[in-house]
Structures are given as C-alpha cells and as structure tokens.
Structure 1
Amino acid sequence: MARKKQKKQPAGAPAWMVTYSDMVTLLLTFFVLLLSMANLDKRKFFDALGSLKGAFGFLQSSSVSEINKPQVISYAPMDDDYVSRLYNRVQAMLTRLRIDRDIDLVQDRGAVILRVKDAILFEAGSTTLRPEAGPVLREIAGLVQPLPLLLRIEGHTDDQPPSDPAVTNWDISVQRAVTVLKFFAAEDLLPLDRLSAVGYGDRRPVAPNLGNEQKALNRRVEFVLENLNQYQDKLPYLIDAADQLPF
C-alpha cells in the first residue's frame, strides 16, 4: 500500500504569527502614545505623535520637517505639589540664614516668590541700590543658583506719584528691576539666560493704598521662581531627596 505524500509546508513563519506580530506592534505603539499624553510636555507629545503616524504608514514629508524643526521653549507654572515642597525648603533655608525677616516667601500664580521691601534695597524714590542691599541679593542668588528654575525680577511701587513729574511709577519699577538684574550680572551670581526683569508700577498692589503701612507693602521687589517644561523631570529628584538638595 502506497504512503500518502505529505503536504509540503511553506517556508517562513506561519501566517497567523505575522498577523499577531503586527497587532502587538500596533498595540505597543498605541500605549506609548498614551504614556506620552500623560506627560504634559508638548514637544514630547508631538514627537510621539510623529512616531505613531510613521508606524501606521501615513507620515507626510511635511510633518517630518515640522516635528524635527527647533522648538520654542515654553514656560509653565510648577505643579502645586512642587510649589509646596519648594516653598518649605526655601523657607527653611531663609530661617537658617536668619534673613527671613528681610524676605517674605509666598506662593502665588503657581510659583514661589521671594518678596523684598524696597526700603531694604533702595532709598525712597531712588533706583540706585543701597550698600546694605548687596548681602541680601547675594543670599537670594545663592538660593536660586542651584535650582533648575528661571528667575523673573519684578519691580512694584505704590500709587504715590514721584516727586519728579518727568518720572512715572512705571519708570521706577522697571529701573529697579533692571538694577537688580545688573547687580547679579556684574557679580556673576546667576546666568543671564535664566534672568528677566519687568516693572509693573502700581498696577499689582498686595494691599490697598490707604495708609503708609499698606503703601510700604506695595513698594517691593519680587523674585519669581519660574519653571521650564524641560526641567519637569528633574524637579521631583531635587525636591524629594532631602539629602541630595543643594540647600
């Protein structure tokens, strides 16, 4: 009796395995996209989106150039948890250095703000730093320097018009902020690419301008710690690991 001739198996992987591999690859790509969406970093999101389009085979050449072109750095408020932890650390440092009487530390606008009364830094109506201002500003720079954060210097005044009619409160606030920035630059205390200066005049009071004490609160210089999106991943390490913190 003749044996049946065995059917010859085709070479290569079975057809079901090829289909299964494609499905697993697409699922992996899909979950990578979900993970990138969980991280609120726009640049990473668009990079992952481009990878997903390429995996599905419909990435246009114009999209490639758009994704690979230089991205503009965006600034964002720190998360509330980061702000609270950073606030506590900076407050402890201010107390340790015994300069917490000169500097008020506040949480506002999604950031940590070092608030200094103008009398500590400037004479009344002046935009020239007092000699006593140097040590205070050096201490502030020492606090900010190790942090992966930007520093915005803000000048503020009360609503009392300056004695010189040619000068406005806007002029004084801007010049004071720039004067502080120039001090940091001249002393080489902070990199210039991390600094900015702005003046608000009497437009952003922290108290009603009803009396001398309240007006004195509004005459101030604020040091606003701002976050960069690209530093989000570094902040938990700096803030959570107390033994690793530079302060």
Structure 2
Amino acid sequence: MAEENNNGGAKKKKRPVAAGAPLWMVTYSDMVTLLLTFFVLLLSMAQLDQMKFKEVLGSLQGAFGVMASSNLTTVERPRIVEFLPIEDDYTARLYKRLIVQMQRLKLDRDITLVQDRGAVVLRVNDAVLFEAGQTEVRSEAYPVLRKVAEMVRPLPFNLRIEGHTDSVPVSRPGLSNWDYSVARAVSVLKFFGNEDLLPLERLAAVGYGEKRPLGSNDTAEGRALNRRVEFVLESTSSSREELPYLIDAREQMPF
C-alpha cells in the first residue's frame, strides 16, 4: 500500500524547454537575411539616379522612424548635380570604344586618349601636326587627321579643336601665344572642312595659349607637353561654354 501511495502520489516530471528563440524564428531569420543579401547585390550592380536614390532613402528612413515626422514629405535635393552615374558610365564606355578604334587605326602612338572635365579628349603633341614655329598643318599629318575624323564621324558628338602653347613668347612680331594657338586650331578645322571629313556644324576651334598647361614651363619636358592640340568630344545636346578666341566653323566658311 505504501508503494502504491508513493507511486500514485508521485509528481510527473516536466519536459525541459530549450533555451533561445523558437526553431521557426531561426528559419525565418535565415530567409530574411538571404533576401536582404540578394537585394543588396542587385543594388550594388545597378546604375542609380542620385536624385531618385535620395528620395527613396528619405522615404525608407521616415518609414522606420529615423527622420522626424515633419521631414517625411520633404526631400532636400542637391542644387548642383555635377556628374550623374549614367553619364560617367557612358563616358567610360566611349573611352573604351575609342581605345579599341585607336589601336585598330594604329593611332595610339600619335594620340593620347584621356578623360578630362567630364569629357573624352584626344590629345596630340604639336610635333605630330606642325613643323616647329609653323601654324599650317604639315602634309605628313594628313593621314592622322583623316583617321581622327573616321573615329569621330559616327559618334553623336561635336568636335572642339583646342590649341595650346607653352609660355615662351612667339618669335613673330605682333603675334601672341593666344593668336598662335588659335591659328593652329583653325588650321586643323580648315583641313577637316576642305576635305569634307566632318560636317562643319559639328566643328569649333578654340585657342587657350599658355593658360592651360599640363606640365611646368620651367623644363623642356613640361613645355613639350604644353604645346599640343586637343580634340574634345562634346555632346551635341549640351550648351557650349564661352571660351576665349572661339571660332565657329559655321561663321567662317567659305575659307
């Protein structure tokens, strides 16, 4: 009887409860983490518009209570957008395309291709195009200029031809470095026009003189870098900046 009483009166042992979150929550958390990683990867590979990104970011911050309620309906936009990612991507693709074209046409030994001021620039040393002290394009440079026109012709860009000099005064009386740089730029423009290599409405000639040096004018190497002609590819839809000694081909024909 004592055993029965003892057995009957014995309390049932409770099953041990596992510590931590329930198992279903762990599985759910793994799934959410994987989805978050997937969308972060998609975001990192996407080309974003900075303005829209700021708007979406502001909405998300407001939804999660990061921003004050008074700021939820107003997203401050930057006043100046210097360079959108899509433009940078287009410039990079254009740069790569021209590199391939230059190698195909064997121009990479005569021309340096650079990205400058948000544009693609073909940079040519003056010795390639001109005799020392001369402003007329030498005949040996004609094949180089024809190949430049071949590259530029199918592209939706205007071509601004920029003349640059070093700081050494020009030996010709009454002629400044600015005049000298303009004369060389116009000489190249005339060649394109006379040979019907490019439409005149796409051409402009600019002279900067010694005002935009690449190297120091105190050394021979620096002065050689500064004596150059640059072909700047400009979007046909963009407004043209005011430049010193700007020569528009449409206002100069016939030569």
Tell whether the structures are fold-level matches, with TM greater than 0.5. Answer: yes
Matched letter for residue 113 of structure 2: L
Which of 213, 219, 226 aligns to 1:218? It is 226
- Alignment partners' CA distance in 2, 1:80 and 1:228: 17
Residue 166 of structure 2 corresponds to which residue in structure 1?
A: 158
The percent identity for this pair of structures is: 62
Task: Determine if the alignment matches structure 1 residue 127 to structure 2 residue 118.
Answer: no
- Alignment partners' CA distance in 2, 1:205 and 1:102: 19
Matched residue SS, 2:218: coil
Question: What 5-or-longer segments of structure 2 have no aligned partner?
Answer: 1-50, 53-82, 239-255
Matched residue SS, 2:139: coil
Matched residue SS, 1:225: strand
* TM-score, reference length from structure 1: 0.61
- Alignment partners' CA distance in 2, 1:82 and 1:165: 46
Task: Determine if the alignment matches structure 1 residue 196 to structure 2 residue 179.
Answer: no
Matched residue SS, 2:144: helix
Aligned-pair distance for 1:99?
1.4
Which of 126, 141, 151 aligns to 1:143? It is 151
Matched letter for residue 118 of structure 2: G
Residue 82 of structure 1 corresponds to which residue in structure 2?
A: 90
Structure number with greater Rg is 2
**Equivalent residues in 2 for 1:63-78, closer than 5 Å:** none
Matched residue SS, 2:217: coil
Which of 189, 194, 214 aligns to 1:186? It is 194
Matched residue SS, 1:200: strand
Task: Count residues with an aligned counterpart.
Answer: 158
Bigger RCO (CA 8 Å, 6+ sep): 1
* TM-score, reference length from structure 2: 0.59
Which of 175, 181, 184 aligns to 1:176? It is 184
Question: What 5-or-longer segments of structure 1 have no aligned partner?
Answer: 1-36, 39-75, 231-247
Residue 93 of structure 1 corresponds to which residue in structure 2?
A: 101
What is the root-mean-square deviation of aligned Cα atoms in Å? 2.0
Contact kept in structure 2, 1:125 and 1:172, CA below 8 Å: no
Contact kept in structure 2, 1:181 and 1:196, CA below 8 Å: yes
Matched letter for residue 210 of structure 1: D
* More deviation, 122-131/215-224: 122-131
> Following TM superposition, where does structure 1 have runs of at least 4 consecutive aligned residues deviating by more than 2 angstroms?
none
Aligned-pair distance for 1:118?
0.4
Residue 28 of structure 2 corresponds to which residue in structure 1?
A: none
